[in-house]
Amino acid sequence: MPSADDSYLALYRARYVQRLPGRLEELVGPREGVVVLPLHVAWSGLREFRLDRPRLRMGLYRIVLAEGLRDDLCVYLNHELLVAQWPVLRTLISRTVREVWEAAFPELRDASSG
């Protein structure tokens, strides 16, 4: 019989799976400039991120991966930037988010091992 923790983890994982784009190429967000996240994504703290500043860009991606809906992922994340920074980014996000994204997109897992 599954435990309450198992049920919670399954719901938590499903939350992220349902938000995934069909392909990484659907992530057509900006590669440069300033991104201002809406309140439903960045509901606490910093909302404006300069993409030419690696720490700010990493913060933007962490927030959008954790809090963004499918449309937010596609609008605010760029697939090329995601793959390029995944080896570090994957260490800064939750295990569940990391596992969901790497299971759906093997190219992310490959970017981390090479």
User: Which of the 8 DSSP states describes residue 101?
Assistant: H
Q: One-letter amino acid identity for 4?
A: A
pLDDT in tens, 4-35: 677 777 888 898 999 999 999 999 999 999 99
Answer whether residue 114 shows pLDDT above 70. Answer: no
Q: What is the pLDDT of residues 32-63, one digit of tens each?
A: 999 999 999 998 889 999 999 999 999 999 99
* Angstrom distances, CA of residue 72 to CA of 4, 8, 11, 29, 113: 30, 24, 20, 9, 27
In the chain, domain spans: 4-113
Looking up tokens 């703290």, which residue turns up?
45
Question: Is the pLDDT assigned to residue 2 strictly greater than 70?
Answer: no
Q: What is the DSSP string of 9-54?
A: HHHHHHHHHTT--SSGGG-B--SSSEEE--TTTS-SS--EEETTSH
